[in-house]
Amino acid sequence: MAEGFLSRLSFGLVSLGLPLYALHLGMGVTAIGVLVSLNVIVQLATKPFLGRLADRIGHRRALALAIALRSLVPLLLVLATAPWQLYAIRVGYGLAQALRDPPLNAVIADSGGTRRVAAAFAWYHTAKNVAAALGRAAAGVLLALTGGGYGTIFLLAFGLSTLPLVVVLAWVPATPATPTGPAPGTGSGPGTLGRTLPLTGLGFMFGLTAGMLNLFPVIATTYYHLGPAQIGLILLGATVVVLVAGPLFGWVADHVSRSLVLLVRAAANVASSLVFLAFRSLGGVATARLIDDAGKAAFRPAWGSVMAEVARREPTRRAQAMAVIEVGEDAGDAAGPLLAGWLLALGGLPLMFGVRCALAVLTELWAWRTTRRLGH
């Protein structure tokens, strides 16, 4: 939880500041969509390999290395003055995240055991999402106070990004390096591959619909004419929703139904999109964003529990197994901002949110069918 809180506090500053800085440099909405997606594209290409590397060198060592590399990202942003530099830095961020996520998920799954794994993921992502909201809110306020001091934002993010390294080295137990063999599902118990592929496809759909809203700072600025401080306050309001919804949905996923919790994510996508379209005021935008964040809070614990169950069948390749499952979500995260930017350029908000609603309905049907078939 400490690692997640401190990491996301740092990159909450970056997540709000970077798209607005790109807009400041004269980049268009489509180009910013590519920028926002670029790190996820890199993760998609490298995460299975780096997940295998994490199993080889040990999860604690891989986490420490990834956090050290990731800390360089906001420092380099302080020095960036051209769009191509932003793209290059985003590639480095993607590599660091691809190395970090698989061992981190394995550590969280270990802490939850077999009966409270969803709760473990819920508490971790609650801390992470609260910090993200605080970071984005702080970035909005600081940008307003400094008159667009992006360098100040990125320098503060660099200072905060070094703290998770201390946390990991001090408290995360060392894990032994293990030899790795074939990819998950190719050499272990029967049915593993059959369970993994449907989840990879479902993860793509969840990532696609969620990723379309990664352009929220740009959308709020360009189409709703909100300022950085207003955007930051909207995102800060999500902390209350996340604090309540995250642990609650974690308990429901552990004790009632993971399938039910996963369906909440798709329903929230539909509801938030409709509110975005129907209400163009500050209150309407805030309400829509809070609904969407509640759906995200529901998704993470249930999805983490599903990944942990499949990865448990691969005891020597847990990080790699989780990485393979996450490939679908990463692909969706990468495609989401690209699709959103293209739809905005083609038909504006009605087309983008209309398509998002349709995709969310399809995702909800897919989630019901897939989780029912897999017994989740």
- For 99, the token pair is 């190395």
Annotation: CATH topology of 2-172+190-374: Growth Hormone; Chain: A; (1.20.1250)
Cβ 54 vs Cβ 102: under 8 Å: yes
- What's the CA angle centered on 230, arms 130 and 279, to 5 degrees? 100
- Rounded to the nearest 10 degrees, the angle between the axes of helix 282-311 and helix 117-146 is 140
Element (H, E) at 278: helix 258-278
Beta strands in the chain (DSSP E): none
- Rounded to the nearest 10 degrees, the angle between the axes of helix 83-112 and helix 2-24 is 160
What is the pLDDT, as a whole number, of residue 175? 66
What is the pLDDT, as a whole number, of residue 315? 64
Distances (CA, A) of 257 to 22, 201, 249, 293, 303: 42, 20, 10, 20, 12
What is the pLDDT, as a whole number, of residue 90? 93
- Nearest CA-CA partner of 271 in 247, 288, 256: 288
Q: Hey, how many other C-beta atoms are within 10 angstroms of the C-beta on 160?
A: 20
Element (H, E) at 76: helix 72-79
Residue by residue, pLDDT tens for the chain (376 residues) are 888 888 888 988 898 889 889 988 888 877 887 888 788 788 888 888 888 888 888 888 999 999 999 999 999 999 998 999 999 999 999 999 989 888 888 788 777 566 677 778 778 878 887 788 788 878 888 888 888 789 899 999 999 989 988 888 888 877 665 554 444 444 444 444 555 667 777 788 888 888 888 788 888 888 888 887 788 788 777 777 777 777 887 777 777 777 777 778 778 888 888 999 888 888 888 889 888 888 887 777 777 777 777 767 666 666 777 777 778 887 887 788 888 888 888 888 899 899 998 988 888 787 777 666 555 4
Sign of the alpha-carbon dihedral angle for 268, 271, 277, 278: negative
Q: What is the distance between the alpha carbons of residues 81 and 91, in angstroms, rounded to a whole number?
A: 16
Cβ 299 vs Cβ 245: under 8 Å: no
What is the pLDDT, as a whole number, of residue 314? 66
Provide the CB-side half-sphere exposure for 164 (13 A, CA).
29
Cβ 333 vs Cβ 101: under 8 Å: no
Domain boundaries along the sequence of the chain:
2-172+190-374
Q: If 0-12 CB within 10 Å is exposed, 13-18 middle and 19+ buried, where does residue 59 land?
A: buried
Place of tokens 């080889």: 56
